[in-house]
Amino acid sequence: MATATLAQHAFLKQLGIKAQNSGAYDGAWRKTKGAVLDSLNPATGEVIASVTQATRADYDACVAAAHAAFLRFREVPAPKRGEIVRRMGERIREHKEPLGRLITLEMGKILQEGLGEVQEAIDMADFAVGQSRMLYGLSMHSERPAHAMREQWHPLGVVGVITAFNFPMAVWAWNSMLAYICGNACVWKPAGTVPLCSIALTNVVRPVLEAEGFGALAALVVGPSADVGEPMLHDARVPLISFTGSTAVGRKVAAAVATRFGRTILELGGNNALVVLDDADLDLALPAIVFGSVGTAGQRCTTTRRLIVHEKIAAEVERRLVKAYAGVRIGDPLAAGTLCGPLVTPKAVDEMQAALAQVKKQGGKVLFGGEVVKGKGALAGGNFVVPAIVRAENEWPIVQEETFAPILYVIRAKDVDDAIAKQNGVPQGLSSSIFTLNMRHAEKFLSAVGSDCGIANVNIGTSGAEIGGAFGGEKETGGGRESGSDAWKAYMRRQTNTINWSREMPLAQGIQFG
């Protein structure tokens, strides 16, 4: 079955994907001997290709190789490191089409989103190149005569990057491109549902690194948590772990890494709300709601999960939404015109159905969708569902949780204060947005008494962040920041320097000793 799929999708050959692939790269592909992992197409259930997973020994070898590469790479001037990243970005740009198709084939998001994700990786490389000349410290005034003070930043070492299935390439780029210009190495552990995406992207960028003698900077370990994930959390050779995943797993990651005084960047659950006030431009709001809730089949961390709408216009918004959802085409994510592909696994389908059962039990009313779609022909084995719209209350237990599926809870609010209180009234704090033409309401939403999320938008949806700003959230979202702004500082260690150029030895605070 895998061979037939490979023949059907010739672009896989351009990415170095074979019927059987190694799950470990340490500057060269290792002869792995772990259990065989089949990569499945979520739209058909067919095997795309297989991966022989990394063992604990493979993990140790990859980290050792990455650390050795780091010891040399940290001495390369930052702008030179940026030049290497520039060439990596060019390689990704040259392979944008096949990489985007692979994301769609293996993860299930529609092709436009797959291509958009690869573009995000390209943009991240471009951003990092510029940042490589701007790793700024500070110059400070000393209280002591003839003394100078400054602050500078140095590389950390090996960065462990543990990524989720929903953005199988972009999140690695968010982390790795910054880690590289900062002088670090990376060891990547991808989600087990999308191993081919990580293997393909490694194949695309490794020629650049190998030509410089730094192939191990992009170490890769595809393997089970017991052999790869857990050892990474407890490995003192990996001073920083960047983890993207659920809040439940993130708690364990944070605790394990903190025990050894390591650092974490946590990108965890989101329960994002989009507020629509009674003065909103509904023609503007509607497409943002539909993309935010249906895009990637509801499997983005920034997916719009709660629609908080002013009670005066709630009925009209619901009517428009039901009409818009009825026009959403569900099916093969590689086909033109498809707007909603499959969920990633049959388990994800079951979890959506369980959530819908819970919300009905708690008093919710399904306004549209929620059914499991039984595909026909080539899509017969796919994990397809109809995106759901459900009228609900914010405080219900199931609404307080994040269900990684296309369920949109419609919640009514009395006014802007009630809407903000409901937006903030969940444990998660990633992305939020408000639609209003009232400047006071907009500014209040963005103020200290407004949204408590790491991302707050006005007249734009919750989903689709640009790489220029720092990405991340508060509360149970973990507090991590990746991508733009000054997120680069997380990949470096801060050092304060004091230089005495006098002939005296004055002590700080005027202390006299001796």
DSSP β-ladder status, 138-141 and 407-413 = unpaired
Distance CA(317)–CA(507), nearest Å, equals 68
- Catalytic site residue 62? no
Q: Which of 46, 106, 113, 267 is catalytic?
A: 267
Q: How far apart are alpha carbons 320 and 70 in whole angstroms?
A: 55
- Determine the straight-line distance between the first and last CA of the chain, rounded to whole angstroms: 82
Nearest Cα to 433, choosing from 452, 461, 454? 461
30's CB contacts (< 8 A; 6+ apart) are 22, 24, 54, 58, 61, 62
Q: In sequence order, which residues have a C-beta less than 8 Å from that of residue 274 and are 6 or more positions away?
A: 285, 288, 289, 292, 304, 306, 307, 308, 432, 433, 434, 435, 461, 462
Task: For residues 122 and 116, give the distance between their C-alpha atoms in angstroms, rounded to a whole number.
Answer: 10
- Rounded Cα gap, residues 194 and 463, in angstroms: 22
From 301, 318, 340, 402, active-site residue: 301
Q: With CA atoms as reference, report the closest residue to 28 among 53, 74, 68, 65.
A: 65
Cα 160 to chain center, whole Å?
Answer: 14
Of 95, 51, 98, 76, give the one whose Cα is nearest residue 206: 95
| Distance of alpha carbon 142 from the chain centroid | 42
The span from the CA of 219 to the CA of 26, in Å, is 5
Q: Are 30 and 58 in contact (CB under 8 A)?
A: yes
Q: Could you tell me how far CA 48 lies from the centroid of its own chain?
A: 24
- The closest of 102, 113, 127 to 196, measured between CA atoms, is 102
CA distance 30 to 16: 15
Rounded to the nearest 5°, which phi and psi values hold at 144? Answer: -100, 140
Please give the single-letter amino acid code of residue 437. L
Closest CA to 225 of 187, 203, 192, 273: 192
Structure tokens that stand for 15 in this block? 């990415």
Q: Is 197 a catalytic residue?
A: no
Q: Which residues are catalytic?
A: 267, 301
